[in-house]
């Protein structure tokens, strides 16, 4: 599977581990930075890179990592069409896709170690949205309606 991955400086070491792990498993990984862990940077920049790459069709799914995972998760979910979920367990990683059509998994590098990150990413990638079950489709349509309600005509979020 082709994936996009990105992390800020705090998430850089885990990003490198996850990227190498997935490449070894045969996935095509598009690394959108950071490319070093020694430069302070801003997590929203990396969330936006992943979101824009998914919207542009570079990949259908992405991985975002920062120190806690919270910052990139909040930022990514501001992008229309991005459904990011922070997952530090395998249940959330597959359930977020199956029930909510999550397309970006978010990991906190200061929260979980590489071995658990690998398991979470594997669960995320193996999962598929359960589109043939009416309750999940109904709920997904409601989420998309909320997104549409708060969008401007130019695709940006409306001001508060």
The candidate with the shortest Cα–Cα distance to 103, out of 67, 59, 147, is 59
Q: Which of the residues 88, 94, 99, 152 is marked catalytic?
A: 99
Active site residue 99: yes
Cβ 61 vs Cβ 22: under 8 Å: no
pLDDT of residue 14: 98
pTM (2 d.p.): 0.93
Cβ 32 vs Cβ 4: under 8 Å: yes
Q: What is the CA radius of gyration of the chain?
A: 15
User: What domains are defined for the chain?
Assistant: 2-130 (3.40.1400.10)
Token output for 41? 């940077």
Token output for 52? 């824009």
Active site residue 120: no
Q: Return per-residue pLDDT of the chain as tens, 160 residues.
A: 999 999 999 999 999 999 999 999 999 999 999 999 998 899 999 999 999 999 999 999 999 999 999 999 999 999 999 999 999 999 999 999 999 999 999 999 999 999 999 999 999 999 999 989 999 999 999 999 999 998 875 555 544 4
Q: Is 29 helix (H, G, I), strand (E, B) or coil?
A: strand
Token output for 136? 């999940």
Phi, psi (degrees; rounded to nearest 5) at 39: -115, 120
Q: Which of the residues 9, 27, 66, 73 is marked catalytic?
A: 66
Could you tell me which residues are beta bridge partners of residue 105?
A: 63, 85
């Amino acid at each position: 599977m082709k994936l996009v991955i990105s992390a800020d400086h705090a998430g850089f070491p885990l990003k490198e581990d996850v990227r190498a792990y997935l490449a070894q498993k045969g996935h095509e990984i598009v690394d959108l930075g950071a490319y070093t862990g020694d430069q302070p940077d801003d997590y929203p920049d990396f969330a936006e890179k992943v979101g824009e790459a998914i919207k542009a069709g570079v990949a259908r799914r992405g991985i975002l990592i920062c120190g806690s995972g919270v910052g990139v998760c909040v930022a990514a979910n501001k992008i229309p069409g991005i459904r990011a979920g922070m997952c530090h367990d395998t249940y959330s990683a597959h359930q977020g896709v199956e029930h909510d059509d999550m397309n970006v998994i978010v990991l906190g590098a200061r929260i979980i170690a590489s071995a658990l990150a690998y398991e979470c990413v594997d669960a995320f990638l193996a999962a598929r949205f359960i589109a043939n079950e009416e309750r999940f489709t109904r709920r997904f349509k409601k989420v998309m309606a909320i997104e549409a309600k708060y969008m401007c005509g130019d695709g940006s979020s409306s001001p508060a």
